[in-house]
């Protein structure tokens, strides 16, 4: 009885959000695209390519262009390859590598590159503890909404440092686990702060009650979610695919780098009224979990010393 009531309440909130501005955006399953009449051969990669410019809401496009043009690039967490290829086609990287832990994603990314005739973009399967590239082999690392997913961000940051050539730069943008909008349940609901109100176990049970229904993969674009696991540091249970990274813990991982820029972007920072008190708190220097909770994401530019 004790666990059923929270699950039912979470289910009620998820159900209420459907059809409102907090409704889900859907996932990336092939069934989801087909259900919506998208007959493209590579719909996931093409959606990524179409959203390529989104990265430049965090960084100056001119600054990234300057860093990338004519240089070797690593896209850490390249998904289906759509964005990775655009760094070659639009920003002029001399060569690009994309790394991902999912074999099917690598296969589709390679096929997508061939279909476009892009020969200087390569994709490699990446394990949990290594990037399959030699030391000092790239000049630029980009990573968009990935650091929050890796098994151990401490290892990933060491690997990013290792593969960067001296003087190389990394542009990273990702949400922090405690951020109100960071629960990654966007495929079914965008209600903020659900992971503040309910345990990871309760939320998984609630969303799986919808994802287990017939036709759910077509409707929501994802399959049944696994049970929550431990955060990368073993301190707490976290939602599937997430590692529980906090802003202060991430800051501590940056010691080897020269930190060119590190920003915690306030949630609703672009909204005049609702964003005003949040911007005021950030201007006053709010820190720790409260800052994380009010952050849309963490954005940084890092340089490997020469």
Domain range annotation of the chain: 4-26+186-238, 43-177+246-303
Confidence of residue 121 (pLDDT cuts 50, 70, 90): very high
Mean pLDDT of 60-84: 97
Mean pLDDT of 153-160: 98
pTM for the whole structure: 0.95
SS (H, E, C) the chain: CCCHHHHHHHHHHHHHHCCCCCECCCCCCHHHHHHCCCCCCCHHHHHHHHCHHHHHHCCCHHHHHHHHCCCEEEEECCCCCHHHHHHHHCCCCCEEEEEECCHHHHHHHHHHHHHHCCCCEEEEECCCCCCCCCCCCEEEEEEECCCCCCCCHHHHHHHHHHHEEEEEEEEEEECCCCCCCCCCCCCCECCCCHHHHCCHHHHHHHHHHHHCCCCHHHHHCCCCCCCCEECCCCCCEECCCCCCCCHHHHHHCCCCCEEEEEEEEECCCCCCCCCHHHHHHHHCCCCHHHHHHCEEEEEEEEECCC
Confidence of residue 1 (pLDDT cuts 50, 70, 90): very low
Q: Which CATH code is given to the segment(s) 43-177+246-303? A: 3.40.50.150
Q: Is the pLDDT of residue 27 over 70?
A: yes
Confidence of residue 2 (pLDDT cuts 50, 70, 90): low
Q: Is the pLDDT of residue 110 over 70?
A: yes
pLDDT reported for residue 271? 85
């Amino acid at each position: 009885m004790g666990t059923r009531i929270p699950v039912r309440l979470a289910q009620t909130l998820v159900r209420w959000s459907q059809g409102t501005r907090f409704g889900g955006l859907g996932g990336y399953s092939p069934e989801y695209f087909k259900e919506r009449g998208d007959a493209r051969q590579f719909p996931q990669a093409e959606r990524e390519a179409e959203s390529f410019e989104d990265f430049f809401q965090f960084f100056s496009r001119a600054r990234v262009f300057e860093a990338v043009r004519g240089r070797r690039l690593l896209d850490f967490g390249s998904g289906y390859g759509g964005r990775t290829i655009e760094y070659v086609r639009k920003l002029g990287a001399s060569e690009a590598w994309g790394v991902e832990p999912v074999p099917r994603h690598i296969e589709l990314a390679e096929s997508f590159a061939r279909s476009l005739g892009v020969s200087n973009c390569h994709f490699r399967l990446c394990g949990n503890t290594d990037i399959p590239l030699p030391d000092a082999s790239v000049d630029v690392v980009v990573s968009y909404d990935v650091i929050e997913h890796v098994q151990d961000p401490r290892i990933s940051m060491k690997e990013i440092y290792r593969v960067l050539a001296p003087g190389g730069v990394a542009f990273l943008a990702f949400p922090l686990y405690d951020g109100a909008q960071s629960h990654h349940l966007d495929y079914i609901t965008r209600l903020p702060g659900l992971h503040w109100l309910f345990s990871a176990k309760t939320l998984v049970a609630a969303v799986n009650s919808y994802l287990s229904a017939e036709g759910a993969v077509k409707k929501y674009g994802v399959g049944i979610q696994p049970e929550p696991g431990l955060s990368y540091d073993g301190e707490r249970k976290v939602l599937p695919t997430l590692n529980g990274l906090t802003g202060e813990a991430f800051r501590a991982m940056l010691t080897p780098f020269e930190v060119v820029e590190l920003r915690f972007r306030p949630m609703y920072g672009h909204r005049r009224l609702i964003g005003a008190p949040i911007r005021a708190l950030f201007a006053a220097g709010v820190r720790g979990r409260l800052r994380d909770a009010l952050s849309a994401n963490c954005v940084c530019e890092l340089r490997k010393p020469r």
